[in-house]
Structure formats: structure tokens, C-alpha cells
Amino acid sequence: MRIESIINYFDRESVGATEFRRLFSNIHKTNKDGLKSVMVTSSGVEEGKSTISSFLAISIAESTDNKVLLLDTDLRRPMINVFFKLPLERGFSDLLEKNCSTKETIKETAVQGLSIITAGTLTTEPTLIMNQTRLKEIFEELKFYFDFIVVDVPPVIPVSDPVIIASEVEGTLMVVRAGKTPKEVVKRAINFLNNSKINVLGVVMNNLDEVLPYYYSPKYYSYKYYDKSNEHAKI
């Protein structure tokens, strides 16, 4: 069976695209100093964080003049290369290990203004190559090239990678799969991020079924955005 790029499932006139534009607008409104990067994570696996990351990045590129980068830093379960039908190699892990230059890792897409860096060559010990000094160098260079960076990171509870990467981004979105993730697990993940002094911008509620093919699941058309500054949920 032929698997199409996730770009083919993005309709700029859809309710989903409108919600992602609203999400991006809300992020900026509650952060007046402006953000150049946001990482997207979840408490556990299969909550749709990579789907949310992808559609958010596409939406920003489609609706602004920004040069947008979608960066896959999930070196254990990379999905961005699958979603966009791109080579996995020459990506983030290769940058960390200085096996190639930054420009060699940047992959163009059919969406004007959107570029992608895939996870790169898989390694058996991802955490060991997450050198903080090297991470800083990479993100400083990427922020020079791009106006906005969406970073797809691993889930919070299973691994420590998100905490390491968080120091290089301005904010974090937590994806929660409605109807699946127990409240206590979400609370534990949020508390973990807060205790690590990570700037949690909000929570994206990810719905299920029917909109995308099984290999892209889950449904993405609605979310609740939690704004810490005024203590209520925006829909």
C-alpha cells in the first residue's frame, strides 16, 4: 500500500487548520517577548505528539511568512521522516556527533517556508550523545537560519531527553490523548516539567479516530489550550 505524505492530509480551510492557527496565535499572545522555538512532548507514547508537531509546523508555514523548521529529536521512535516521506539519515543525531554540517541535514518540503531535519542515523544510546554544549551550538545556528522551530521530542516520563533539550527552547506544549491518558499520569508529567523549571505553555488535547489513515492516527481537529497566565482553558 502506498503511504502518502502527511502534507496531503492538511486542508488549510478545515476546522483543524483553523485550530492550529489559533494555537500558534495563543502561544504568541501569552508570550509577548516572542518565541522562536517550542517543543512538543507527551507523558507517554502513542499520544499523537508527532502528528501535532507536524500539523503545527505546516500551519505556521502556511499562514505566515516565517521560515519554519520541524526538528525531530526523538531518536528512539522517530516518525517525522515517515510522515513526510523523507530519508531518516543525515539528521539530528548526525549533527550531534558532527558527522555532517547543519545545512546538509536540512530537507525541503512541498510546503513553502517549511524545512525539516529528521532524527538521523539511529543510535543504541541516544542520551549519551545529547551533549549540552553541542545542543546549544546546534540550536544557536538553527535559530539564525529559521524564524520559528517546532521540536518534536520524546515523551517526558520514559526518558530524560526532553529535560535536556528544553533548555534550548522557549516553551513546551504537552499533548494529551483524550480518552486514553489517565489524569494522574498527565499531572505527573506536568509536575515533572514544572519541577525541572521548564516553561509549559499549555496542553493540547488530541482526539481520536477517523480523520487520518491508521498510520497517522490520531484525530487532530480539536484541542484545549491551557494558559497559565489567566488560569483558564481557551478553546
Tens digits of pLDDT across the chain (235 residues): 456 788 887 777 777 778 888 888 888 776 666 788 999 999 988 888 999 999 999 999 998 899 999 999 999 999 999 999 999 999 999 999 999 999 999 999 999 999 999 999 988 888 889 989 999 999 999 999 999 999 999 999 988 899 999 999 999 999 988 778 888 898 899 888 888 889 999 888 886 454 444 444 444 333 344 444 444 333 2
What is the pTM (predicted TM-score) of this model?
A: 0.84
End-to-end CA distance of the chain: 37
**Three-state DSSP class for residue 137:** helix
Given phi > 0 = left and psi -120 to 50 = alpha, else beta, which region is 34?
Answer: left
What contacts 109, CB < 8 A, 6 or more positions away?
A: 7, 84, 115, 116
Number of domains in the chain: 1
Cα dihedral across residues 77, 127, 71, 153: positive or negative: positive
In this structure, is residue 58 part of a structural domain?
yes
What is the pLDDT, as a whole number, of residue 4? 74
Query: Which residue is it, cell 500558534?
Result: 24
In this structure, is residue 106 part of a structural domain?
yes
In this structure, is residue 212 part of a structural domain?
yes
In this structure, is residue 1 part of a structural domain?
no
Check: CB of residue 122 under 8 Å from CB of residue 19. Answer: no
Q: What angle do CA 168, 169, 175 make, to 5 degrees?
A: 130
- What residues make up the domain containing 101? 6-226
In this structure, is residue 232 part of a structural domain?
no
In this structure, is residue 149 part of a structural domain?
yes
Query: Where residue 64 sits, what CATH number does that domain have?
Result: 3.40.50.300
Nearest partner of 226 among 201, 195, 198, 206, judged by Cα? 201
How many CB atoms sit inside 10 A of residue 234's CB? 15
In this structure, what are the phi and psi dihedrals at residue 156, rounded to the nearest 5 degrees? -70, -45
What is the pLDDT, as a whole number, of residue 23? 86
What is the pLDDT, as a whole number, of residue 36? 87
In this structure, is residue 233 part of a structural domain?
no
Distance CA(82)–CA(26), nearest Å, equals 29
Distance CA(7)–CA(109), nearest Å, equals 9
In this structure, is residue 143 part of a structural domain?
yes
